[in-house]
Amino acid sequence: MSASNSFVVGQCTRVRDTVFMKARAQSVDGSMRDLTHTSQNEFPPDGEIELRGARATLKQDDWAIARPVLDGPPRRQRWVSQTARKLLPFEDLSGLAGPEAARRLLVESGLQDGYTGEKIFRIGAEKMIMVTMVRSEDGRCRATSADMRRLPVYDFDPTKVLTIPTPGGSVSLMEKNHQSAETGVANWIGDAQYVEQIVRGALAVEDADQKATAAVAATLLAHADRLAGQLSGSGEPDPKVAQEILRSRRLGDLLASRPALIAEFMNALRRDPNIAARIEQEIARLTAETVEAKRAELTAQLSESLEAELAGLRRDRTSKLEAELSDLEASSLQELQQKIDSQTNSALSTLEVRKAGLDRAVAELEKTRDALHESHRLKGEEIEALSNDVGRLTSEVADRKADLDRLLRMEELLRSSGERSKAADDGPSFPLAIVSPSARPLPLGEIADWLTASQLLTDAGRRGVARLAALMLGGGVPVVDGPEADDVLDILSSMLAGGAMTSFDCDPTVISYDDLWRRPGAGASTQAGLALSDVQKTGAIRLCAIRRAELAPSGFWIETLRRAARRRSVPKELLLCVTRAGDGEEEASKDPSAFRAEGWIELNAGAQALASVVDEAFPRVVDVSSLPFDPPAALSAIGVPPLRLSISDARWLAQFAPVAKAILKGEATPFLKEILEAESGNAKPALKLIDNGGPSRA
């Protein structure tokens, strides 16, 4: 619908608050094509177009023309036309024998097509009319208008006729508001009405000399009524009746143009003896009727005068009787009023006494009511205070009970932990994972190549795993969360420790740094403690993952663990990593040592892992025997002016900076900058308390 000369023609299907049009044909560059079976494709989804602002001009099944455009937000667009114009059916009757033939067809004979409503007809080479077709009693449809005596006639323009192709044949339509010039008016009333018009014009004459013309007009009127009755019947009009109508019309025209003809005819009639005798008889009859009418008029006048005299006498007698009755009523009413006044005074005095007593009783009741209201208010305040105390005491009791239950559970947990520790010391310990026999050494500079060749990680995963490896090998303890954290740890263990990974799951008993290595109570070694002992004894590389850190009561031990790793209080062969669940991306992004593993693992990572089991190049052991120590690299990372760092952090940076550059290559500088800015800003670890038994009020 981009062309300016394109438009759509259709029929209205739904007319409620908004009008919808079903597309039937479309004109593009002057070519009209049928859309009966393809409208859903051209104007999806149902082939309809919304016509805005056309509610007052269009109704169901009306034809309309519109220029639709797409309107609305993406994925919810629909075809809408801001304007629409009504189209009327068009029929060409210019082939008939002139406008009179068209009038007889549309007004007298009628059409059998069954169409009712507005329609445009061409009645000449350059003339057309617009009428309303209505169904008559005989089943035919005939033309009508507001004033058939002055039916407007318009200029006809063939370019304004639209021929719409349909599966059943073409349909001719024309715009209702065609803006054609009105060239004149036509008198299209029926033949019988035409004769009646002439006859009634003759009857309206009031001149006494033209009474004969009125008599002839009355005769023509009666004849026109009979013709109208014959024309209103069903079927084709009788040719004889049509001839009679034409004859009556000619007589009416003659009557209107030659009034002297009727006067000559009347003079000839008066000279005839029979007619003269007939006139004398009529005069005698009219005279007798006039005498009778005069007698009736005099009788009515006398009766009226007598009735007036009787009415006057009746009024006089009535006034006298009313005066006498008024005197009697006045005397009786005076006596009655005196009795009523005395009884009223007695009753009022009694009521005043009773009212005074009732007022005193009401005053006493109001005082009692006010006292009761005040008492009720005080009691209500006491009840409210007692209710608040009860609620507060109930809450305190519940809190104290919760504290006791929590302490009892903690005591039971410590007792059972001590018993398990003793049993563990008495029996064998769980074995630790060992390095894969096929694992080969992996220098620091080849870690990036190993990650590039890995089919398990996405691009984001390769960058994240590289940063994790740089932190762990450089003496850092990264924190990993997210749904793919465990898979990332498996990949790190295969890349750095040959698959040797020890997991330690936190619980509420892990409170301090020492609880990572030994169980509270009996002091049995944890899995992390066993891994530390194994590394100290054998010197083998091992990845230790401290999982579910959010289950511990606080996170202070994470900072202590990081400090121990940076100062190499923990062997460098023990690669440490902390995982947790439930932290959002916003919280994790505040710490550059915290990573969210989400979108790091390829969708087919499981199948690739199965294929990597037999791959000797997959399990590798990183070479930490000669980790670089490069103070100049640390100084260049600090920058000018230098960042504020502690002495221990500066020493740690000297071993972390070269490791990061060896693993991260060109991405090492921004990563180092993030770590250094976080350390110089004195970032504190988040404190997160675990409360399984309600709030503590101890």
pLDDT lower than 50: segments of the chain: 1-3, 208, 234, 240, 426-428, 584-588, 682-698
Give the model's pLDDT for residue 683: 44
Q: What angle do CA 188, 214, 250 make, to 5 degrees?
A: 40
The confidence score (pLDDT) of residue 141 equals 92
Alpha-carbon distance of 543 to 550, in angstroms, equals 20
User: What does the angle CA 556 – CA 559 – CA 564 come to, to the nearest 5 degrees?
Assistant: 125
Helices (H), 158-272: 191-203, 211-231, 239-257, 259-270
Measuring CA to CA, which residue among 148, 178, 173, 175 is closest to residue 162? 173
User: What's the alpha-carbon Rg for the chain, to the nearest Å?
Assistant: 58
pLDDT digits (tens, 9 = 90+) for 442-478: 888 888 888 888 888 899 988 999 999 889 888 889 9
Q: Cα separation of 534 and 126, whole Å? A: 112
Contacts of residue 75, Cβ cutoff 8 Å, sequence gap at least 6: none
Measured distance CA(273)–CA(280) in Å, rounded: 10
Q: How far is CA 122 from the centre of its chain?
A: 48
Residue 32: both structure tokens together: 């009209």
d(CA 567, CA 475) in angstroms, rounded, equals: 8
On whether the CB atoms of residues 559 and 682 are closer than 8 A, the answer is no
Using the structure block, give the residue that is written with the tokens 């006044």: 341
Is residue 26 exposed (0-12), middle (13-18) or buried (19+ Cβ within 10 Å)? buried
Largest CA distance in the chain: 167
Measure Cα distances from 575 to 141, 472, 490, 495 in Å.
Answer: 100, 6, 13, 12
Q: What is the pLDDT of residue 688?
A: 42
pTM of the model as a whole: 0.41
418-424: Cβ within 8 A, 24+ apart? 418/519, 418/520, 418/521, 418/522, 420/519, 420/524, 421/519, 421/521, 421/522, 421/523, 421/524, 422/522, 422/524, 424/524
H or E element: which one contains 84? strand 84-92
In contact, 577 and 545? CB cutoff 8 Å: yes
Single out the residue of 646, 655, 652 nearest to residue 681, CA to CA: 646
Phi-psi label, residue 401: left if phi above 0, alpha if psi -120 to 50, beta otherwise: alpha
Structure tokens at 432: 């630790």
pLDDT of residue 207: 57
CA–CA dist 673, 683 (Å, integer): 14
Q: How far apart are CA 687 and CA 556, in angstroms?
A: 7
Give the integer Cα–Cα distance in Å for 172 and 615. 81
Please tell me the distance from the alpha carbon of residue 690 to that of residue 550, in angstroms, as a whole number: 8
Q: What is the helix, strand, coil percentage profile of the chain, to 5?
A: 50, 15, 30
Among 624, 606, 608, smallest CA distance to 570 is for: 624
In degrees and rounded to multiples of 5, residue 97 shows phi and psi of -80, 65
Type of residue numbered 628:
P
- Cα separation, 516 vs 582, in Å, equals 21
Q: What is the pLDDT of residue 430?
A: 64
Q: Which two tokens stand for residue 170?
A: 């073409």
pLDDT tens-digit readout, 285-341: 878 888 888 888 888 888 888 888 888 888 888 888 888 888 888 878 888 888 888
Spatial CA neighbour of 244 closest among 275, 220, 264: 220
User: Residues 655, 632: contact at Cβ < 8 Å?
Assistant: no
pLDDT at residue 698, as a whole number: 31
